[in-house]
A and B are shown apart, each in its own frame.
Chain A
Amino acid sequence: MNMRNLYVNNTLIALLLFTIFVGCKKEKQVVFGVNKQVLYEDKAKKTKRKSDAEYISILYTNLYQTPISPSQLYKTQNILFSIGDRNVATELVLSNYFNTTGLKIPPNTVMRSNVDSFIESSYKRFFLRYPSEGEKTFFRNYINNNPSITVELVYTSFSTADEYQYY
């Protein structure tokens, strides 16, 4: 082996070692993700009207935290249809619900102890969104200035509101 070949071989070995040491690195553990975020509806995007069956099911589940039975749903649906003014029918059905046991609603003392929190939870519970500052202010003032306001009245107003009929 002449000197020239020895030189070429050494150069190749050096290049190979250089490539191994420089090219191979320990793989980094990278985890991609997003922060947890709860999504709420925007009232402007609620354009589809709930069917009677959807409305009754959602309302019943909301108030009792348990699904309505199919026969009860059918009967309630027909009763709503049998009264021309739907608001009257809904208010009567609601008033009937509020006269039963088993409702899962906060007591009036809870509403009075933290009105802001109650307003926010009511908007989330019925409208699946946060109240705007204007809405919050209206309800805060109205509840604080009117001792006769009860959770039942507030929930009835939300349940019969136009926004609750839409999704």
Chain B
Amino acid sequence: MNRKDFFKKAGATAAGGVILPYILPSGRLFARTNSAKAEYVINVMFAGGVRQQESVMGRYLDDSQGVSGAAGNIMPNLFKGGFPSKKIVFGTDPAAGTRGSEPIPRILSSSFEETGTVFKEMQAASAGHFVGLNSLITGNPGYSQGLKVRPKYPTIFEYLRKHAGFKATDCWFICNTLGNSYPLLNSSNNPDYGLQYGGNMLVAPYTFSGVGREILANAKPYSTAELSPMYFMKNFLDESFGLPADKMSSIKNTEEERTQIKEFIRSIFQRQTSGQIVAPPVTDNGDAVNVSYAAEVLRYFKPKFLTLNLGAVDGCHSNFTGYLRSLHRADHAIGWLWNYIQNSIPEMSGKTIMIVAPECGRNLVPNPILDENDWYAFDHSDANAMRVWGTMVGKNVPNLSIGSESNKVGRLTDIVPTIADIFGIYDDVMASPYIDPMAKSLYQRM
């Protein structure tokens, strides 16, 4: 090799060494198509079906049960406005007196509405839960989405992993139930994306239940180094078998990430034993438990993106009082989570945006079922069930109130483009043929 060849090859090798580590799974050299707006995003699917009237409109019993003078805000951490002054049943139970008559004190010094942006009247994709959740997580209405199957269109997890190069443990879905296909929302089965780009998922209330403890808690603690030979042999066996990518049945973490997740699960059982699980002050329903484990995931992994879903308000099909209690508690839990991020996770404090939106609304007209207070219940199938709100708060989010009952602004399919916008991959995601053509970043609707 002469001197000229040597310099040529050495130069090429050095250039390759610099460039190769930055080639993204999408094949691009650079992820960012616009400047990022924040380092972390929490996406809260405030699900179960929430009526505008008892939430963002602050009408309480005025618009649902015909009790005049009973308007008021029962979601003080998200929206501004005082509690109702009469017939309070949504709070905690006093030692003596009416059940639920003590409202849970507001956790945040200022509500989301006072510090961030509220879209007061948005368009839901559907009056149903699963399509609604799909629209929140795929940016596509997904009208032909079947049950018991993964989403047809790529999820935000896949967009982030493919276009922004996020690791699997950068993306989490904390699911509240094993039922209703919800645990399948961490990845689509889309051939252009799919499980190889899926996010991590935990049905936390089940994984960390008594059953989970029985089946998982006795696992031996292994370090990455101790497990390395096992992974080496497994990789050999897998290479030998040669399973094609389209036959994958699970998302993939690296060996190091797998060990980290196992250590996390083990640590949760230990923290349960020692009473160290962080939780909102009032943790008396499934939503609060799910939020509590979402906080544990945030504390441990500090993921760039986490989605969690709630669902207790769906009890409104048969129990309106229970619905009010769940709505109040969901607000409490989300307020607590935002507060926890700001005060107890320094890496995320001041660098995070939280987006909150229900997946669908509920009916204008009640069904005939009466609850303990003789109040009517509500299903979700009419035009009122297509009305929802959305709010976002955090780093560089302006304080705005957008839209009104007579002026609909924004769609639930905007949430995915908004998250893409925050992480700087907006153009990449919008160029995908799978996004609702009517959707756009909520920043562009401000």
Contacts and interface: CB of A to CB of B under 8 A. Distances in A.
Nearest to A138: B236
Majority-rule SS of A interface residues: helix
Interface string B184-208: 0010000000000011111100110
A37 B227 CA distance: 38
Q: Which 6 A-B pairs have the closest CB atoms?
A: A84-B201, A86-B250, A95-B219, A157-B233, A82-B203, A161-B237
A7 to B, nearest CB: 86
Interface stretch (A23-31, A71-79, A109-117): A71-79
B233 A154 contact: yes
A84 B173 CA distance: 9
Nearest to A43: B241
Nearest to B235: A157
10 contacts: A75-B214, A79-B215, A83-B201, A83-B203, A84-B202, A85-B258, A93-B219, A153-B229, A161-B234, A161-B238
Contacts of A154: 230, 233
Interface of A: 43, 46, 49, 75-76, 78-79, 81-88, 91-93, 95-96, 98-100, 135, 138-139, 142, 146, 148-149, 153-154, 156-158, 160-163, 165-166
Contacts of B207: 79, 82-83
A76 to B, nearest CB: 6
A161 B252 CA distance: 13
Given A84-B200, A99-B220, A157-B234, A49 B262 contact: no
B219 A96 contact: yes
B183 A85 contact: no
A82 B202 contact: yes
Contacts, number: 125
* Chain A CB within 10 Å, residue with most, of B203, B214, B226, B240: B240
B200 A82 contact: no
B212 A79 contact: yes
Contacts of A160: 234
A46 B241 CA distance: 9
B222 interface: yes
B211 interface: yes
Interface string B227-269: 1011111101110110100010111110000100110010000
B178 interface: yes
B212 A96 contact: no
Given A49-B247, A82-B207, A82-B212, 9 more contacts: A46-B241, A82-B183, A88-B253, A92-B216, A153-B230, A156-B230, A157-B230, A161-B241, A162-B237
A79 B206 contact: yes
Contact of B206 (A82, A91, A93, A153): A82
Contacts of B250: 84-87
B203 A85 contact: no
B258 A88 contact: yes
B218 interface: yes
A46 B237 CA distance: 14
Contact of B253 (A85, A98, A139, A161): A85
B229 A149 contact: yes
A98 B230 CA distance: 14
A95 B265 CA distance: 13
B267 to A, nearest CB: 13
A139 B230 CA distance: 12
A76 B241 contact: no
A85 B251 contact: yes
B216 A93 contact: yes
Nearest to A71: B211
A93 to B, nearest CB: 6
B168 interface: yes
Contacts of B236: 138
